[in-house]
Amino acid sequence: MPTKPPNRPAAPGKVAASSGNVFRDLGLSNPEQEMMKTRLTLQIYRIIRERGLTQAQAAKLLGIKQPHVSLLMRNRAGSFSAGRLMEFLTALGQDVEITVRPARKPHGEMSVMLG
């Protein structure tokens, strides 16, 4: 997936404009996917906090070990795929919808809409 080159570092005392995706600005590969994983992870974090679950309780619900929940709570999705993060959300009682539609540009985008 081609990405735009990262913004050049600003000269001292100057501010560089963001592309809207910090992962793109840092020049990482697959910045849209990384942003999507970050937003999914944030939603998992919010649900766990809102319910007052301990990491051990969350781990049992999600079917993973507590240290992995600790990573998620620090927004470290690590090796979890976007699909696996969506499975965690369904385990937490959330509906996850994926919509595919024609792009307005030659190259499509990925996004997460939280509702």
pLDDT (tens digit per residue) in 21-68: 777 788 778 888 888 899 999 999 999 999 999 999 999 999 999 999
Regarding predicted confidence, which is higher, 4 or 45? 45
Mean pLDDT value across the chain: 85
**Which pLDDT value is given to residue 80?**
92
- Percentage of the chain beyond pLDDT 70 is 90
Whether the CB-CB separation of 68 and 61 falls below 8 Å is answered with no
**Which pLDDT value is given to residue 1?**
47
> pTM surpassing 0.95?
no
pLDDT at 6 over 80: no
Task: Output the CA–CA distances (angstroms, integers) from residue 82 to 10, 15, 26, 39, 106, in the order listed.
Answer: 32, 32, 20, 10, 23
- Distance, in Å, from the CA atom of 111 to the CA atom of 36, rounded to the nearest integer, reads 6
State in words which class domain 47-95 has. mainly alpha
pLDDT at 8 over 90: no
